[in-house]
Structure 1
């Protein structure tokens, strides 16, 4: 389902990678991913999260600190994909693959449980993209059953109507591109920060912290169907855990050395507050 990011023609798979009819060639890395982010679509030499940030994010997520969010996303998408025998899902801004892997496994297990024992296992195709080469390299190396590509969310390297569902956790994107690659009556699940998200950290940085908006964003080509707010308090047990969170979030870069040191000593409880919004392709 890949298409060439340079000329938009279909890419054909080969032992070494992918090639379009115009002979644009994209090699497959030894980890299994393909780089479909041409230099024309880069804003820097090495865009996206660094290898150090990816490692911090992987350690934090695999410790289960955001598992309630992953579980809620999985249940929301499973509820609308349960009638499809072979759903295809795109995770936009997939990072090191934590949410992608858990989503694919959950959907497959839900469908398997609904089938007679004599039926073959259902096929669930999940693709993940990110502009960070370090993130995609880490994802492809660990989750071999999934398909990963370095790519821009504003220039999705996929054919029209390729996916039954799209997942976008925080990642920026363009509504027209989301609508283009989503099948008719397909689904878009987004995760955005709710008003109280990380409020304790904001209060350390700003005299008057600005809360995140509660407004439901419009996505051209989609109609909003459902909103769920998910909130809990996370208590770090060590400076390392808190540091991993700070490396994952933009707020971490705004902390002075003095404030950071104070946080590491205090280890305050942190509010995690998210909106999960479900849209359907019109």
Structure 2
């Protein structure tokens, strides 16, 4: 499937369109942003950073890269690909933004799908420089950007699909950048997700609350599906990588982490919910207000 980089980027300082000249992006008012030699662009102004290196650490990114490249979450990627391409018209470009792309696994899987008569324009945005750096090193075809979901450096009404996979949705921003009729595909952990690991690292599991997806402002739910399967991890390194790529690494007790480190194998349940939303024709993003 032919892959093109996404070009409808917006200046993170004033919202003006960015144009690429050589190895930099610039806006009409004179703001310029260099493209790193690894192929990504930093579009996160220092005033929008809450720490020196926000987002996932270099160690978390490396753990996620090893785990995902091992194919353990391939069924999730396949479900996302089916949802992205389900209503896509042939012989027309389809632009897709992965908001919180991490090290780029899901965009790479989408790029590898075999849908004919289609070319994709791909953009991955993540607040972690280490994640975007890892993504750019693995695939040069998409555009990779350091940025934040709270102020996406993307022009209004310029995207056909937004992915938010195990991330932090900012629905107003997603509605702003999506075209009318565009879709948001959101993946969240289900009640049984990694239960066996959680039972080891926590003294007691809190009862799971029933979650009924609702229509966020600007969106209508099209469908909700569940992907659930067993995952056998047959080495301490695989277990450690799975734990390191989740927030449980920082929430678990020291004793719980010790119990996890002592494991040689573990079978866990993967349980995720894939919700597909359609951006309404009448949307908050149509009020003309720039949120960059």
- TM over 0.5, yes or no? yes
Q: Among 140, 157, 160, which residue is 2:153 paired with?
A: 157
Pairwise CA distance, 1:82: 4.0
Superposed CA offset, 1:131-183 (max 9, x none): 00011011111111111100000101111111111111021132111011101
After TM superposition, list the pairs within 5 Å mapping 1:161-240 onto structure 2. 161-204=157-200, 205-211=202-208, 213-240=210-237
CA distance in 1, matches of 2:31, 2:259: 53
Give 2:65's aligned residue: 58
Q: CA deviation at 1:212?
A: 5.6
Aligned residue number for residue 275 of structure 1: 273
Give the match for residue 125 of structure 2: 129
Are residues 1:29 and 2:39 paired? no
Q: Which deviations, in whole Å up to 9, do the C-alpha atoms of 1:103-157 show, x marking residues without a partner?
A: 1231xx2134xxxxxxxxx431010000000110111111111111000001011
Structure 2: tracts of 5 or more residues without a match = 1-7, 281-292
Q: Secondary structure at the match of 2:274?
A: strand
More displaced stretch, 70-79 vs 238-247: 70-79
**Counterpart selection for 1:110 from 112, 115, 118:** 115
- The residue aligned with 1:248 is 245
TM-score for the superposition, normalised by structure 1: 0.92
Whether 1:8 aligns to 2:15 is yes
- For 1:237 and 1:175, the matched residues in 2 are separated by 39
Match of 2:5 in 1: none
RMSD after superposition? 1.5
The corresponding residue for 1:43 is: 50
CA distance in 1, matches of 2:227, 2:184: 18
Contact 1:224 1:279 in 2 (8 A): yes
2:4 corresponding residue in structure 1:
none
CA distances 1:26-79 after superposition (whole Å, capped 9, x unpaired): 111001111000011111111011111111101000111111100111111111
Give the whole-Å Cα distance in 2 for the aligned partners of 1:210 and 1:38. 40
Report what 2:81 is aligned to: 74
Q: If each structure's helix is expressed as a fraction of its own residues, which one has the higher value?
A: 1
User: Matched residues in 1 for 2:45 and 2:228: separation?
Assistant: 39
C-alpha separation in 1, matches of 2:267 and 2:119: 41
1:210 deviates by 3.5
SS of 1:275's partner is strand
Moved more, 9-18 or 265-274: 265-274
Count of residues in Structure 1 that have an aligned counterpart in Structure 2: 271
Moved more, 155-164 or 196-205: 196-205
Matching residue within 89, 101, 106 for 1:94: 101
* Structure 2 counterpart SS, 1:4: coil
SS at match of 2:123: strand
Contact 1:18 1:27 in 2 (8 A): yes
1:83 deviation in Å?
4.0
* Map of 1:116 onto structure 2: none
